[in-house]
């Protein structure tokens, strides 16, 4: 019995060690998909010769998803907040509720006419108290048409008066676009445009790949701030802090660029984006504070394929890293 329990006890003692072990992908980004690609953040990048299969969607991004009423994940606003309700939920009330005076007037006409008929007099006798005329069926039809014509004239007059008093500066009016927020409708007002890259751009991408991995390995946050967006720098900082809390350090050395392929390049307003597939090899090793290897190897090279997205302001500035995505 003791012999059988010995392997179980050994495995239980080793569980904390496995929990503290860093992830197998410990390079910059730690093998996750994170960052932003402008309005295309949640769209899969086009496939390339290097990445012919799917690309993992973003695990982390500060770009908010655009709400869609048809999306299953869209949560309808609460009933108490009338400002956030979709327009199609505000069903127009029936005519009887919108115009109680007119419906009451029509009911009075019909009630008086029916009273006159039941008492043996004409349809209009109920209004005047007289008891003559209108006894034939043809006369009854004429009287009904006259009453309907009068009610129709009153309704038309009421509608024209109501439409004349209503304003035309509502949220969905034609003039609302002049004061609309540029952030909520930027993709529609300024659609993205495809751009052409040059050889200098591809050279900059290769150099950024090497420099980012070097700054990551030396935990040089100042250099990372010059080569990546604040969003990506915050992710790098969190990942490096996680490694430090485990008493580990990751070093990516001898980075060699193998080949690359453009996935897409486009412009949104004054910002140009470029997503490229990068295949490179490197020595990726994670050690503890004493230099003992926790993951990877100090001698065996690893081949990595990822999609990196870069951005720059047109006419000024350099390319900087905006997102990293893992290839399937």
Helices (H) and strands (E) in the chain, counts: 9, 7
- On whether residue 229 sits in a domain, the answer given is yes
Terminal Cα distance for the chain, rounded: 46
Looking at residue 65, its pLDDT comes to 87
**Do the domain assignments include residue 92?**
no
Q: What percent of the chain has pLDDT over 90?
A: 50
- Is 292 among the domain residues? yes
Secondary structure (DSSP) of 129-197: ----S--SHHHHHHHHHHHHHHHHHHHHHHHHHHHHHS-S-STTSGGGGGGS-TTTTHHHHS--EE---
Q: Exposed, middle or buried by CB within 10 Å (0-12, 13-18, 19+), for 296?
A: buried
Q: Quote the domain boundaries for residue 57.
A: 22-61+192-326
Could you read off the pLDDT of 136-181 as tens digits, one per residue?
556 667 767 777 777 777 777 766 665 454 443 333 223 333 333 3
Question: Do 117 and 123 form a contact (C-beta atoms < 8 A)?
Answer: yes
Residue 174 maps to a domain: no
- The residue whose two tokens read 């490197």 is 282
The token pair that represents 138 in the structure block: 């043809």
Contacts of 62 (CB under 8 A, 6+ apart): 36, 231
pLDDT of the residue at 295: 93
Q: List, for the chain, all residue ranges whose pLDDT scores fall below the cut of 70.
A: 1-25, 67-140, 143, 158-191, 315
CA of residue 219 relative to chain centroid, distance: 33
CATH code at position 26: 3.10.450.240
- Domain assignment present for residue 211? The answer is yes
Residue 170 lies in a domain: no
Q: So what's the pLDDT on residue 139?
A: 65
Instruction: Read off the pLDDT of residues 255-300 as tens digits, 9 standing for 90 and up.
Output: 999 999 999 999 999 999 999 999 999 999 999 989 999 999 999 9
pLDDT for res 138? 61
Q: Residue 252 domain-assigned?
A: yes
Identify the bridge partners of residue 246 per DSSP, sorted by sequence position: none
The number of residues in the chain equals: 328
Task: Tell me the two tokens of residue 311.
Answer: 């951005």
In a domain, 124, yes or no: no
Decide: 226 and 318 in contact? Cβ < 8 Å. Answer: no
Residue 230's H or E segment, with its range, is helix 230-245
Q: What is the pTM of this model?
A: 0.58
Residue 249 backbone phi and psi in degrees, to 5: -145, 135
Count of domains for the chain: 1
Distance CA 242, CA 22 (A): 9
- How far apart CA 160 and CA 78 sit, in angstroms, is 35
């Amino acid at each position: 019995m003791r012999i059988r329990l010995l392997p179980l006890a050994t495995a239980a003692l080793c569980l904390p060690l496995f929990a503290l072990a860093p992830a197998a992908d410990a390079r910059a980004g730690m093998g996750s998909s994170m960052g932003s690609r402008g309005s295309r953040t949640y769209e899969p990048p086009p496939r390339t010769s290097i990445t012919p299969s799917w690309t993992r969607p973003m695990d982390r991004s500060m770009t908010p998803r655009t709400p869609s009423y048809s999306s299953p994940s869209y949560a309808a606003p609460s009933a108490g907040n009338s400002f956030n309700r979709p327009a199609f939920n505000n069903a127009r009330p029936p005519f009887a509720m919108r115009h109680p005076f007119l419906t009451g007037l029509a009911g009075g006409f019909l009630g008086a006419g029916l009273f006159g008929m039941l008492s043996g007099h004409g349809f209009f006798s109920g209004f005047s108290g007289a008891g003559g005329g209108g006894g034939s069926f043809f006369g009854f039809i004429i009287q009904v048409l006259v009453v309907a014509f009068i009610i129709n004239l009153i309704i038309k007059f009421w509608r024209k008066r109501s439409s004349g008093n209503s304003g035309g500066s509502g949220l969905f009016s034609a003039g609302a676009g002049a004061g609309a927020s540029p952030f909520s409708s930027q993709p529609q007002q300024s659609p993205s445009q495809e751009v052409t890259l040059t050889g200098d751009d591809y050279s900059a991408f290769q150099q950024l790949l090497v420099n980012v991995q070097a700054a990551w390995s030396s935990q040089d946050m100042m250099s990372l701030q010059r080569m990546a967006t604040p969003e990506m720098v915050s992710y790098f900082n969190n990942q490096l802090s996680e490694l430090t809390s485990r008493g580990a350090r990751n070093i990516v050395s001898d980075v060699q660029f193998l080949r690359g392929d453009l996935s897409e390049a486009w412009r949104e307003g004054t910002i140009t984006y470029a997503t490229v597939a990068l295949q490179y090899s490197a020595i990726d090793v994670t050690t503890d504070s004493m230099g003992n290897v926790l993951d990877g190897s100090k001698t065996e090279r690893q081949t990595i394929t990822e999609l990196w997205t870069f951005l720059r302001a047109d006419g000024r500035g350099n390319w900087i890293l905006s997102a990293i995505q893992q290839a399937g």
